[in-house]
Amino acid sequence: MTLMTTYKKSSELSKLTLGKPTNYSSEYNPELLQAVPRTLNRDALNITDKNLPFIGEDVWYGYELSWLNAKGKPVVAVAEFRFPCQSPAIVESKSFKLYLNSFNQSKFSSWQQVEEHLIKDLSRTSGMITQVTLFPVDLCPALTINNSPATCLDELDIDIDNYKLNSDLLKNCHLADEKKVTESLVSHLLKSNCLITNQPDWASIYISYTGRAINHSSLLKYLVSFRQHNEFHEQCVERIFCDLKKHCDISELTVYARYTRRGGLDINPFRSTLIKQAPLARTLRQ
């Protein structure tokens, strides 16, 4: 799509280390962090900071965080990072991995000191206060696997021949009886590709809404159409949210993607008309 090409070639993206050979630093270095303006995608969706159609956050989990204590003994932890969706920028994922790796051979006096550095550095990069919580690897509620009551779309016996993003698949997506419903749906078939490297990104996508009943087959075909689409995780979720609001007669909407981890990080964008904080919902694939 033309709009993808437009922001893929933006000067902000050309400066990123993503997709380029890099050296790994094992000494704490916050300068490794790189920001990507959220406007790159939101301009194409015709939304601005002043008219965001959603609230929510991006929840990341870091599984490969380690540092040395004051005596030089290694410490390991699982980290939860919560970035408000109103922040001016997202943290580019490769730079995030390089940054976390830089803690490996650095000494810190306490868990609290590590947490304080993470909050300061990530808040500076994203442009808004980031919530950071560190957990022992054997005592982390966020790692509990969620058994969602959502109706799974993946067993629908339908023909699909389109794997390029097509929001028109949502046109006329309502059932004939126009019945108003509240339902929660999930598909584990969402796949998109990194905007820069073209590496595949895999996710389970949860959609809860209140409004006229949506044809499940049309919705699944639309979600599958992301299969050859190139965007960052956060951008895909915001696009799905905006397309559903545009084409479907719904009053309340929540879209939550749980992406599989890469390089010790998983990214889980959450957007909603009424809920600000994402729930704990780890899937088996994470």
The Cα 44–Cα 166 span in angstroms is: 15
Q: Within the chain, where are the H helices?
A: 2-8, 11-14, 39-42, 93-101, 111-126, 216-224, 233-247
Active site residue 154: no
**Cβ proximity of 252 and 276 under 8 Å:** no
Length of the chain: 286
The two structure tokens encoding residue 184: 């929660």
193/199 Cα distance (integer angstroms)? 5
- Contact (Cβ atoms closer than 8 angstroms) between residue 108 and residue 44: no
Helix (H) and strand (E) counts for the chain? 7, 10
Tokens of 78: 């699982």
Annotated active-site residue 177? The verdict is no
Q: Which of 194, 236, 242, 248 is catalytic?
A: 194
Find residue 132's DSSP bridge partners. Answer: 81
Contact assessment for residue 8 and residue 230, using Cβ atoms and an 8 Å cutoff: yes
Q: 74 exposed, middle or buried (CB, 10 Å; 0-12, 13-18, 19+)?
A: exposed
Q: Of the residues 58, 201, 243, 266, which is catalytic?
A: 201
Tell me the two tokens of residue 5: 């090409």
Task: Answer positive or negative: Cα dihedral of 121, 126, 132, 136.
Answer: negative
Contacts of 74 by beta carbon, 8 Å cutoff, 6+ apart? 66, 67, 68
Name the residues annotated as catalytic.
194, 201
